[in-house]
Every structure is written in C-alpha cells, then in structure tokens.
C-alpha cells in the first residue's frame, strides 16, 4: 500500500480532512468537527508508516503480535502505535486499526441537559 492509498482511504471516512502542519511530506488526517488527529502518514528510511491512536491494552497486544507495529514514533508510547506498511499487518487489520483510531479521536456527542 502506498502513502497516497493510505491518505485516500482515510479521506473516505466521514468528515475528515488532510493537513500538513509540519512539512509538505507529513500528512495528518483530522476530524473536521474537533480538528483532532487520528492518523499521521509519512516515510522514514524509505518505509511508509502510519501513526494511529490505540487503547493501551490493545496497543500492547498488537505490538506483541506484529513485528511491523511498534510504539508510536514521536508520539505517546502508551496511546499511539506506528505501523510500517508492507510488513506483517494485513490490509484488513490495518483498516481496523485506522477505524479504531478514528473512533477514539472522534468528537464526543454531548448529552442534552435535562430540565
């Protein structure tokens, strides 16, 4: 999977936009409603990677199962994973990880105040 394919997949999710806050190569995927980042896509040493938010227990599990999932590069190591593309993570599992990150960072629905 290429960097462009990852960006295109993330842009297919509802109410998402692409941002380049650091430089012209580091793609950040954000929610429109709260501007929270759910994915950072870039290349390091010729390898495409994506940083994704993850619940800590799940993050540890994924790191123990997949060689290409490591603690988040330049991120909170408990809550973010870096996934190197082209490794041992299937596209289906990667899309699951993206969906999980998307949900964790989505705007919270406020409950109506009772009168």
pTM over 0.85? The answer is yes
DSSP state of 2: -
DSSP three-state, residue 55: coil
In a domain, 111, yes or no: no
Query: Along the 115 residues of the chain, how does pLDDT read in single tens digits?
Result: 899 999 999 999 999 999 999 999 999 999 999 999 999 999 988 899 999 999 999 999 999 999 999 998 778 788 999 999 999 999 999 999 999 999 999 988 776 666 6
In a domain, 93, yes or no: yes
Are 30 and 16 within 8 A, CB to CB? yes
Q: What is the spatial distance between Cα 65 and Cα 114, in angstroms, rounded to a whole number? A: 46
Q: What is the spatial distance between Cα 18 and Cα 37, in angstroms, rounded to a whole number? A: 10
Are 7 and 41 within 8 A, CB to CB? yes
Domain of residue 48, CATH code: 3.90.1150.30
């Amino acid at each position: 999977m290429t960097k462009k394919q990852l960006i295109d997949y993330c842009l297919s999710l509802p109410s998402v936009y692409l941002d380049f806050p650091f430089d012209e190569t580091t793609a950040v995927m954000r929610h429109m409603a709260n501007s929270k980042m759910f994915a950072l896509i870039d290349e390091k040493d010729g390898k495409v990677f994506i940083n994704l938010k993850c619940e800590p227990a799940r993050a540890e599990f994924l790191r123990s199962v997949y060689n290409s999932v490591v603690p988040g590069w330049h991120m909170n190591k408990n809550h973010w994973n870096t996934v190197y593309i082209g490794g041992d993570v299937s596209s289906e599992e990667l899309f699951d990880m993206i969906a999980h990150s998307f949900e964790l960072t989505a705007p919270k629905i406020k409950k109506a105040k009772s009168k």
